[in-house]
Amino acid sequence: MLALAELVPEQGAVLAIGAELGTGLVVAAAWAQPSAAGDLRIGGWWEAAPTVSWLVAGGGVLLAAQLVSLPAVSVGLAAAALALAALRTVIVTRDVRQLVLHRREALTDDLTGLPNRRALLRRLELLTRDRGRGRRRAALLLADLDGFKELNDALGHAAGDALLARVGERLAAVGGAYTVRLGGDEFAAVVEAPLDPQAVARRMLAALSEPFTLDDITVGVGASIGIARYPDDATTSGELVRRADVAMYDAKRRRVGVAAYTAERDGFSRARVALAAPACRGGSPPRSRATACAASGSSSR
């Protein structure tokens, strides 16, 4: 350190070195690849390369000018490089803010302010990208409001929208879940371990059990919730959504409020299609097996 102090006569050069190193660390952190639980990447290191190059080149020349005599042209070009780096930083910051705003709008439901279907699918893609080979455990909950269509027809679409917004507020207040509005009267939630998805689903139902007041009219609405677990029930995002949907309709049909996915109640499960395949090849299937046979035939082609 004493030798460095003798080589650098002014403290400003030392501060310049620290500033350059700090800038490099900030840029590296900003453009580092996210973890498996993070968001999708916007860009890469190459987008920061011009700014970093100008900072290093300009700062290096100005630092060298503190130690040796350099032509004024070199110093001027170095200052211009730093000015260009600052200008590019301002432009990139503005563009990133606009991109974040547009992405937020694209991933947000206008009526409830909750994340929308696109946001859910993106989160599920991140969740399931290791196809169950990792240690992450989670569950997808799909909720469909019971009796909403009748209320919407009786009270009008404005009251129906107000009711959906209130439902979204209550579901978002349930702890431990990433709550989403899929569209219409369907909502979803992602629950990750160690939380119990059954307990979260019960809390969602409890949150909707209190009546809603809309324009001096008190209405009640319930929900049917289906649960599919990752990776126990499915290892891809599409299959996880489909099996949660099967469980949700099972809960609605049996009027039990909450139902977990089981292959026995899934008419399109691989096991049931495989069992139906020999009967399909043997001749005309019974009416009850027509759907499974159609699925088996399409998968075999």
Q: Which residues are catalytic?
A: 185
Structure tokens given for 58: 């300009």
CA distances from 199 to 78, 188, 242 (A): 62, 15, 22
User: Comparing C-alpha atoms, which of 178, 211, 180 is closest to residue 111?
Assistant: 180
| DSSP-assigned states of every residue in 17-43 | HHHHHHHHHHHHHHTSPP-TTSPPP--
Q: DSSP class of residue 134?
A: S
The tokens 């916007």 sit on which residue? 42
Helix segments in the chain, DSSP class H? 2-7, 11-30, 49-67, 72-106, 117-127, 148-155, 157-172, 197-209, 237-254, 270-281, 290-300
Cβ–Cβ under 8 Å, residues 44 and 31: yes
| Helices 72-106/49-67 angle, 10° precision | 150
The Cα–Cα gap between 175 and 246 comes to 25
